Amino acid sequence: MIAAARHITLYACGREGLQLRGFCMRLFHMGLEVAMVGDVTTPAIGAGDLFIDCAGPGFVSTSEPLMNIARSAGARVLFITARPDAPLARLADFTLLVPAQTMADDQSSGASRVLPMGSAMEGALFILFEVMIYKLKERLGVTAEAMRSRHTNME
C-alpha cells in the first residue's frame, strides 16, 4: 500500500505518534510524498493516496473522523493496532496487527511490570517501521546514499 501510494498522510497520538513521526521522516528520506496530520504543509488527501492511522488500544476519538475523511476523499486506509477486535478496523482497507501491550491492557493480570503503559507497543512500532523501511528500500530500489541526500543540512 505504501509503495503504491501517490501521497501518504500519517496520524497517531502520544508516544505512538512520535514513532510514526520517525517513520514519516524515513519515508521522506526515501523520496516519498509524506506528511503528518496537523503539520501546516499537509496537503489535501484524495484518490491514490494512503492514510496511515495508528491506535494501539484500538480506538482514539480523533482517529475515527480522520479515517472517515480519508475514505470519503477516495484514499486507502491502513490501520495499525494491537487489538484484533479494534472498532476502527472496520474503517480500514487493511489492518496491521502488532501484538503488544498498550495502555488499554496495562492493568491486566498478565501485563508487564517492566515496561509501563504502552511502552511495549511503542518499542514494537519502532522495530516494525525500521523493517518496513528496509523492505521498501529493496522494493523501490532506494539506496542509502539517496536517502542520505534527502536528509536536512539545516542542523
Q: Domain limits of the chain?
A: 8-103+112-139
What's 8-103+112-139's CATH class?
alpha beta
From the list 122, 130, 145, 155, the catalytic residue is 122
**Which among 45, 54, 38 is positioned nearest to 121, based on CA atoms?**
54
Q: Which of 118, 62, 71 lies closest to 92, judged by CA?
A: 71
Is the model's pLDDT at 113 over the cut of 70?
A: no
Task: State how far the Cα of 52 lies from the Cα of 141, in Å rounded to an integer.
Answer: 22
Beta-sheet pairing, 94-97 with 8-12: unpaired
Q: What is the pLDDT of residue 14?
A: 87
% of the chain residues with pLDDT over 70? 88
Answer yes or no: 122 catalytic: yes
Q: How big is the chain by its Cα radius of gyration, in Å?
A: 16
Query: Percentage of residues in the chain with pLDDT exceeding 90?
Result: 74
Q: How far is CA 2 from the centre of its chain?
A: 10
Which runs of consecutive H residues, i.e. helices, occur in 5-140?
14-29, 63-72, 119-140
